[in-house]
């Protein structure tokens, strides 16, 4: 069975600073993918970034980067130069090739950016 754990229910960050949101996962599969989604107060789920288990480099998308440590089974999201619009819920999710096409989500982290 797959499991995603996000241990930070809520976090504050000062505007323009970087912040790391933690995500650890548990799977016995060798081939899997890790995703991060953002959910602002308006409610929609927005895809941010993807990391494959066989990718040799950490994924980056603009101000978002993923600190992938395979041996530790962690896939932390780093947001650089935080903006007020980054205030939202952030969800880590995993898909394993052996678990069909299902995404397993963590419980989320609420990020609040202070001006």
Partner 1 sequence: DAGITQSPRHKVTETGTPVTLRCHQTENHRYMYWYRQDPGHGLRLIHYSYGVKDTDKGEVSDGYSVSRSKTEDFLLTLESATSSQTSVYFCAISDETGGSRVPQYFGPGTRLTVL
Closest approach, Cβ 47 to partner 1, in A, equals 4
Best CA proximity match to 65, nearest among 14, 112, 19, 99 = 19
The dihedrals phi and psi of 24, each to the nearest 5 degrees, come to -120, 150
Cα separation of 111 and 39, whole Å? 10
Please state, in angstroms and as integers, the Cα–Cα distance from residue 31 to each residue in 42, 57, 78, 82, 98, following that order.
Answer: 34, 16, 23, 32, 8
Regarding 33 and contact with partner 1 (CB under 8 A), the answer is yes
Regarding 28 and contact with partner 1 (CB under 8 A), the answer is no
Find the part of the chain contacting partner 1 (CB under 8 A) among 11-19, 20-28, 75-83, 102-110. Answer: 102-110
Q: Which of 64, 73, 105, 110 binds partner 1 (CB under 8 A)?
A: 105
Regarding 107 and contact with partner 1 (CB under 8 A), the answer is yes
Give the footprint of partner 1 on this chain (CB under 8 A).
4, 31-33, 35, 37, 43-45, 47, 50, 52, 91, 93, 95-97, 100-103, 105-108
């Amino acid at each position: 069975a797959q499991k995603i754990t996000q241990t930070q229910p809520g976090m504050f960050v000062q505007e323009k600073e970087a912040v790391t949101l933690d995500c650890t996962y548990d799977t016995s599969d060798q081939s899997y993918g890790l995703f991060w989604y953002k959910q602002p107060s308006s409610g929609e789920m927005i895809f941010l970034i993807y990391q494959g288990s066989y990718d040799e480099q950490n994924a980056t998308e603009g101000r978002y980067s993923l600190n992938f440590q395979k041996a530790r089974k962690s896939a932390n999201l780093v947001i650089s130069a935080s903006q007020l619009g980054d205030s939202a819920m952030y969800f880590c999710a995993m898909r394993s090739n052996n678990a069909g096409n299902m995404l397993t989500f963590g419980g989320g982290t609420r990020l609040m950016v202070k001006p």
